[in-house]
A and B are shown apart, each in its own frame.
Chain A
């Protein structure tokens, strides 16, 4: 790292906002330590940092709360972490417009607290809301269980301000909920993992906080019965906001908040809601959420119980609110230290089969798994752990490759959401985008020709 660049960075954003040396430990990813971490306090400073790094040909690694920092491959050469935590203002919230403008560094929890005080919310419920920032959630396209009804960032983001690789401040979309003027730049930056620009501000659609909301857990003796119940639910008149399918390992961790496979009943579960205890002893747990007027929630819960019963679903019980946020984290917290985590996009009808066969493939190689699914939209999450002594990445990589092939055979995709570098070097992090990959490479070349922004991290070598 050139000292000259560090000096310039300190001059532009203040020495206190430029971290080096041992201060960098929170920003180590895959064992790679960045050259520096810088925290600009204004839009212009973000642009200045990118301009300086670009001129010095040093990669820029945009950083929100760091919750998705290890997704993807590490940059081929060490770079500068560009932290957005000082850009965290709620810029504008007009309840009558049902929209909000906020800076990228605000955490989801802070944003929801401010909106909730005025009876509204951003209908996006990603994991780690206390740490995850708005910009990071958009860049990683993170979502939670309520995507079933309310969609993902692409359904909520109406405008975005980014700083591009040439340090230009660029706006796409706008502040209004319906807008077809110009190309849909907000879509381009969602899920782009900081490879096309640094998101600094976002405009989003909001929803009113519902009068009432409930999440109900049901247990099934067989996964395929739970899948049949999901099918019946989706074909019914009910309007669930979440449809989560959990295997016993994941259910145990989620309802108890404790990782580590099936907990000892009576000790770990003491004082836990009875629904939770019931859930962890079943072959599959189905969690369904409803919101709306109290009578609507009440009626739907009753209908759900009736509908599930005809497929063998039992013990319908509301989940305590403290459990709700854990559903967003997927399967990873099921183990104290997961070896790898994979996310799948498949057809909703393929979810249960993937869970069952995927678990079987891992078991055959002596590996434990935990599975969760946003079953109504076909998004499945699996965590994998080596049993006992750490092994060579070989069997882990083999299972992950088989999983990806299972998804691909059904027309779906798999992303290796988390794994040690040794595994990531054997199993590609990203699924194959096919011929579309070439268009993606051309977009990258157009917007970041020198490869300054997160080079090498994303799909197709981007």
Chain B
């Protein structure tokens, strides 16, 4: 792609400012740096402009400008993504949705809300909470991540075991198509005519267009919640307990697993009450009616005991429950106690394959001379091995990337998937052939062509590059400018 001359850049900047206002365009290299990567700092790219529209019409005008100029563009939310999905191509536009962050309407009677894509996930639950409602998908980054980003990645979270992921809660979307046309996909009602375009758009990683309004379902808060902690001396026992719970005819709201390394990091950092000598712990949450809650909890307790749990206890009150969840949700930060850096993996396997795959993960990481902490959505079979490493050690990053690829291969071999919630983005584009044939990818490409025929909308994502990842090899770590200045550190 042609690099813009500085004269052309000045002209385009003025044109963009005419659309979004003078405070809505960044083009100084220092300012653009902030937008050169997402939560996966391995990949970086600089845009020519970062633009901050405040309406769908702004977005459409900016997109039309980009289309006219042949400039690639990508929408960006909070930048908490973990696969490089919102990185710009080298050059082009980043369209930040952060100023489109309003709750436009809440319809309690019909249990839906209409929101803008820059709205922070948790803020929606805050908005509808006082009336007894909430928005179910709860990614761990929900205090920062936006609903538009959730749409792009079809985000999950701990409670998706019972309630489903983002796509199960989206009724309709207003979308700016890659040619600048504003189109509604789905709507507020069910049974909209034709193909389920809203369903296809969710999880398309920003390659089909830019959502500017989102209609989501809001749910009544459950009457009662109960949280059970089961402690195991062997990881295999904890893995077995997951299927045992399901075999007893229960679908808990969440079943999360935390391994020993992670427990110790969490206890060092926060002291949440997990036993430090446990090989693994399961955090099981039930929600629903008050009636029958104790009986259901008893089934969970029995299933865990039968699977070999050495201790099973139920959170006595909300404070204890909150503390247990704090341990789970703060695990990523707690790794900072035990390692200067880590890389989070995301894979999915059939639940019954948990014991085997967790063993393989440990073997693979050990073979590369590294350590791994596991904290993940066991009930869904959604693994998050976090490979710990020291970026200053020569070759460490290459070993992490190699181990990650091997783990993804194991997930694929047991009939699983290479991503449960973080997306393919740039990171896993070359892993796609692990689970999809050329014919599968060809249909996906044709679907993309129907939405995004020029390819200018978020190019380079999802599909494998011509070169395989093995030939390319991992990207060597180089500290970011803001890391060198001591302003930020990598996790």
Interface-facing stretch out of B11-19, B20-28, B320-328, B412-420? B412-420
Q: Judge whether B189 and A345 touch: CB under 8 Å.
A: yes
Q: Judge whether B189 and A182 touch: CB under 8 Å.
A: no
Q: From residue A284, how far is it (CB to closest CB) to chain B in Å?
A: 19
User: A437 CA to B243 CA in the complex, in Å?
Assistant: 44
Q: From residue A223, how far is it (CB to closest CB) to chain B in Å?
A: 17
Interface-facing stretch out of B48-56, B195-203, B228-236? B195-203
Q: Judge whether A237 and B220 touch: CB under 8 Å.
A: yes
Whether A353 is near chain B, meaning CB under 8 Å from some CB there, is no
Q: Judge whether B417 and A176 touch: CB under 8 Å.
A: yes
Q: Judge whether A348 and B110 touch: CB under 8 Å.
A: yes
Q: From residue A48, how far is it (CB to closest CB) to chain B in Å?
A: 16
- Interface mask (A169-187 → B, CB under 8 Å = 1, otherwise 0): 1111011111111111101
Q: Judge whether A171 and B220 touch: CB under 8 Å.
A: no
Q: Judge whether B183 and A439 touch: CB under 8 Å.
A: yes
* Residues of chain A contacted by B447 (CB below 8 angstroms): 183, 185, 188, 443, 446-447
Whether A296 is near chain B, meaning CB under 8 Å from some CB there, is yes
Interface residues in B269-302 by Cβ distance below 8 A to A read 288-289, 291-292, 295-296
Please tell me the size bucket of the interface on A. Answer: 35 or more
Whether A190 is near chain B, meaning CB under 8 Å from some CB there, is yes
Residue of A nearest to B156 (CB): A178
* Residues of chain B contacted by A168 (CB below 8 angstroms): 439, 442-443
Q: Judge whether B246 and A415 touch: CB under 8 Å.
A: no
* Residues of chain A contacted by B164 (CB below 8 angstroms): 151, 155
Q: Judge whether B432 and A176 touch: CB under 8 Å.
A: no
* Residues of chain B contacted by A235 (CB below 8 angstroms): 108-109, 220
Q: Judge whether B190 and A185 touch: CB under 8 Å.
A: no
Question: Given A164-B443, A299-B289, A436-B185, is A183 in contact with B192 using a C-beta cutoff of 8 Å?
Answer: no
Whether A245 is near chain B, meaning CB under 8 Å from some CB there, is no
User: A239 CA to B251 CA in the complex, in Å?
Assistant: 15
Residue of A nearest to B428 (CB): A181
- Interface mask (A43-76 → B, CB under 8 Å = 1, otherwise 0): 0000000000000000000000000000000000
Contact of B448 among A183, A208, A379 (CB under 8 A): A183
- Interface mask (A247-284 → B, CB under 8 Å = 1, otherwise 0): 00000000000000000000000000000000000000
- Interface mask (A138-161 → B, CB under 8 Å = 1, otherwise 0): 000000000000011011000000
Whether B2 is near chain A, meaning CB under 8 Å from some CB there, is no
Q: Judge whether A154 and B381 touch: CB under 8 Å.
A: no
Residue of A nearest to B408 (CB): A181
* Residues of chain A contacted by B109 (CB below 8 angstroms): 231, 234-235, 348-349
Residue of B nearest to A462 (CB): B194
Measuring CB to CB, which residues of chain A are less than 8 angstroms from any residue of chain B? 94-99, 119, 151-152, 154-155, 164, 168-172, 174-185, 187-188, 190-192, 196, 207-211, 231, 234-235, 237, 239, 292-293, 295-296, 299-300, 343-349, 377-379, 411-413, 415, 430-437, 439-440, 442-443, 445-447, 458-460, 462
Measuring CB to CB, which residues of chain B are less than 8 angstroms from any residue of chain A? 107-111, 153-154, 156, 160, 164-165, 167-168, 177, 181-185, 187-197, 199-200, 202-204, 220, 223, 243, 246-251, 288-289, 291-292, 295-296, 348-352, 377, 380-382, 415-424, 428, 432, 435-437, 439-444, 446-451, 462
Can you list 25 A-B contacts (CB < 8 A)?
Answer: A97-B352, A98-B246, A154-B167, A170-B442, A171-B436, A171-B440, A172-B444, A176-B416, A178-B156, A178-B380, A180-B165, A182-B440, A182-B444, A183-B204, A183-B448, A184-B200, A185-B447, A237-B223, A292-B289, A295-B291, A347-B107, A413-B193, A430-B194, A431-B192, A435-B184
